[in-house]
A and B are shown apart, each in its own frame.
Chain A
Amino acid sequence: MSYFKYENSPYVIRSDIAEAHARFWENLASPGNWWTGAERVAIAQEVRNALSCEFCASRKEALSPYNFAGKHQHDEGLDEVAIDAVHRVITDQTRITKSWVEDNAVKGLSKGAYVELAGLAVAVLSVDEFHRAIGVALEVLPDALPGAPDGYMPALASEGTGYVPMLPNDGAIGKEADLWGDRGANVLRAFSAVPNAVRDWMMISSAQYLSLEGMANFDSPENRSINRMQIELVAGRVSAVNECFY
């Protein structure tokens, strides 16, 4: 099955956007470092469930999100810790703490698995949100491909920034040499314990926003109908509503 034809879209969708979304859907269905293809697709489904989850909506209003009991609205395929992690990343991310990430690791959601889960969740959200922005129905989720996760983590990934292991800012070398240049910003490093999460993030971002190279153009980026100030006004307003300090 081919995805993201956008045949029902009332607007012409740039081909690079459709191609990036389709390539990500293929990656989503494939086994990762810590999750099978089926589990990765289940994570994607939980992204969608989270946005209409009544427990998430109630918890977001609670003063303390860590002492608020209830049940998420969810599908099958993931355990409770993973389901809660997806829902929290999508609906209450500003109150995620290092101790919660570490408690989850004790409960079986390793930091590598958490990074892959979060990377998938935000990539799926980004694709789905594009559809909502233009008023088009969400794409059907892909059928999972067989295979087992390989447990890979870059040897240079280490603790010290944020809540999870990351490559150092000059650590994109060897098998990870394609992730960034001489120095990686923290937002690039964030998912670097799972290199394909960075690659997926950059692939989608290059189409929906700008490539790393394109970010150096502060005037009129190629293949865009809006200039950089227009781009950054939209980015800034979305970020402000989301209370994004970064």
Chain B
Amino acid sequence: MLRVSAQVTETEIDLQGVNGDAKAAETGVQYGAELMQFAETFARRDDEALTTARNSLLSVAGEAVLVDAAGVAANFQRMVRIADSMGIPVDDMASELSQSIRTELELTRFEGARNSRSAG
């Protein structure tokens, strides 16, 4: 979705922001580094680092951005659990875009990939 939204808006981005590279995260994405750090510390359940990241995001972007980012982050705590607890495969394993993103982000290293391999 990040790549598609970048293509639609004709913005140059670096997908490695998704893998935790702060420099990459700020490429083409306003407050990208702060948003990425907020998401990362939240997902890692590192409370002290989350407080720091939250304050950092607040200081550069304001509370409306923080609240919206918090909603998205909380929502995606759920997605992996839906997929893995129900064992669903990826819908479009064969699509070129989907394959290139999986390769670029090395997603096949994740254990949940087995549900899509077995379905394919």
What is the interface of chain A, defined by CB distance below 8 A to chain B? 10-14, 17, 88-90, 93-98, 101, 115, 118, 121-123, 125-130, 132-135, 161-164, 166, 185-187, 189-191, 201, 204-205, 207-209, 218-219, 224-246
Contacts of A209 in B (CB 8 A): 71-72, 75-76
Most chain B C-beta atoms within 10 Å of own C-beta, residue among A201, A207, A224: A224
Q: List the A residue with the shortest CB-CB distance to B54.
A: A135
B residues 105-120 touching A (CB-CB < 8 Å): 105, 107-113, 115-116, 119
- In the complex with contacts A230-B69, A234-B38, A241-B43 CB distance below 8 A: yes
Q: List the A residue with the shortest CB-CB distance to B19.
A: A240
Interchain CA distance A239-B108 in the complex, whole Å: 13
Contacts of B97 in A (CB 8 A): none
Is B36 within 8 A of A125, CB to CB?
A: no
- In the complex with contacts A96-B84, A122-B81, A229-B2, A234-B72 CB distance below 8 A: yes
What is the interface of chain B, defined by CB distance below 8 A to chain A? 1-2, 4-9, 11, 13, 17-20, 25, 28-32, 35-36, 38-40, 42-44, 50-51, 54, 62-91, 105, 107-113, 115-116, 119
Contacts of B76 in A (CB 8 A): 209, 234-235, 238-239, 242, 244
Interchain CA distance A191-B78 in the complex, whole Å: 13
Identify which of A161, A162, A201, A237 contacts B20 (C-beta below 8 A): A237
**Chain B, interface SS category:** helix
The 3 closest A-B pairs by CB, nearest first: A133-B70, A246-B83, A244-B80
- In the complex with contacts A132-B42, A230-B31, A186-B88 CB distance below 8 A: yes
Q: List the A residue with the shortest CB-CB distance to B11.
A: A229
Interchain CA distance A219-B10 in the complex, whole Å: 10
**Chain A, interface SS category:** helix
- In the complex with contacts A234-B38, A238-B43, A93-B74 CB distance below 8 A: no
Other A-B contacts than A230-B32, A235-B72, 19 sampled, CB-CB below 8 A, are: A96-B85, A98-B87, A125-B77, A133-B70, A134-B54, A161-B88, A186-B88, A186-B90, A207-B71, A208-B72, A225-B65, A226-B72, A227-B5, A230-B35, A231-B68, A234-B69, A235-B1, A235-B79, A237-B25
Nearest chain B CB to A81's CB is how many angstroms away?
A: 15
Contacts of A121 in B (CB 8 A): 81
Nearest chain A CB to B57's CB is how many angstroms away?
A: 10
Contacts of A90 in B (CB 8 A): 81
Interchain CA distance A236-B5 in the complex, whole Å: 13
Is A133 within 8 A of B82, CB to CB?
A: no
Q: List the B residue with the shortest CB-CB distance to A128.
A: B74
Interchain CA distance A129-B88 in the complex, whole Å: 23
